[in-house]
């Protein structure tokens, strides 16, 4: 009897895990990101698109947040004025490990910058392209300066894209 119950629970657990992961259809192409193969397309959109801008994680559309959680291994964001874990030594496991700086959305592009705590606090830039609420491409980079608007992101990319490790390290971790 115990064995049947155990096997049933195990099967249900695997089914739930498989179902939960079914919405995570996009796989980061780390090689493409590190080589900036898709950066020109994103850069052009940053320069030409019109954006709606906000600084509140709760205003991020659900379909965007769902895909961000998928590609970031469920990274939790705090709002700019909220506390977050600023280092690798976790003192409060209820606090998010990242803090939102800025986000913006055009018709097909979502832009996000946030602080990531750790041994060396750093800033992530995440550019996500959507087609009808479906994630189709991602580029991300790392910086040490807070980028608070589209102009600062454009300037950062322009000034650092040709430098070795100028836009990202050799590791993609959101």
Residue pLDDT, tens place only, 129-173: 999 999 999 999 988 888 999 999 999 999 988 777 778 765 566
Question: Looking at the domain assignment, is residue 21 inside a domain?
Answer: no
pLDDT digits (tens, 9 = 90+) for 26-54: 898 999 998 889 999 999 999 999 999 99
Q: Is residue 4 one of the residues assigned to a domain?
A: no
DSSP 8-state class, residue 101 = E
* Residue 62 structural domain: 26-160
What percent of the chain stands above pLDDT 70?
A: 83
Q: Does residue 12 fall inside a structural domain?
A: no
- Within-domain flag for 13: no
Distance CA 10, CA 77 (A): 32
Instruction: Give a yes or no: residue 11 inside a domain.
Output: no
What's the helix, strand, coil split of the chain in %, to 5?
35, 25, 45
List of residues 6+ apart from 136 with CB closer than 8 A: 26, 129, 130
> Considering the domain boundaries, does residue 41 fall inside one?
yes
Is 119:52 a contact under the CB 8 Å cutoff? no
Q: Is 173 part of a structural domain of the chain?
A: no
- Note the pLDDT of residue 170: 58
Gap between the Cα atoms of 114 and 174, Å rounded: 10
pLDDT at 3 over 50: no
What is this structure's pTM? Answer: 0.82
- Give a yes or no: residue 33 inside a domain: yes
- Number of structural domains, the chain? 1
């Amino acid at each position: 009897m115990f064995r049947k119950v155990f096997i049933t629970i195990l099967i249900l657990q695997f089914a739930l895990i498989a179902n939960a992961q079914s919405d995570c259809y996009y796989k980061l192409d780390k090689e493409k990101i590190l080589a900036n193969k898709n950066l020109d397309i994103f850069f052009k959109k940053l320069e030409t698109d019109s954006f709606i801008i906000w600084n509140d994680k709760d205003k991020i559309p659900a379909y965007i947040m769902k895909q961000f959680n998928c590609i970031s291994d469920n990274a939790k964001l705090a709002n700019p004025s909220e506390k977050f874990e600023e280092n690798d030594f976790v003192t409060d496991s209820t606090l998010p490990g990242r803090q939102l700086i800025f986000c913006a959305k055009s018709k097909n592009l979502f832009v996000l910058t946030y602080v990531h705590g750790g041994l060396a606090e750093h800033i992530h830039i995440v550019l996500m392209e959507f087609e009808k609420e479906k994630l189709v491409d991602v580029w991300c980079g790392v910086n040490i300066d807070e980028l608070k608007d589209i102009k600062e992101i454009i300037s950062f990319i322009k000034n650092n894209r040709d430098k070795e490790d100028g836009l990202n390290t050799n590791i993609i971790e959101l």
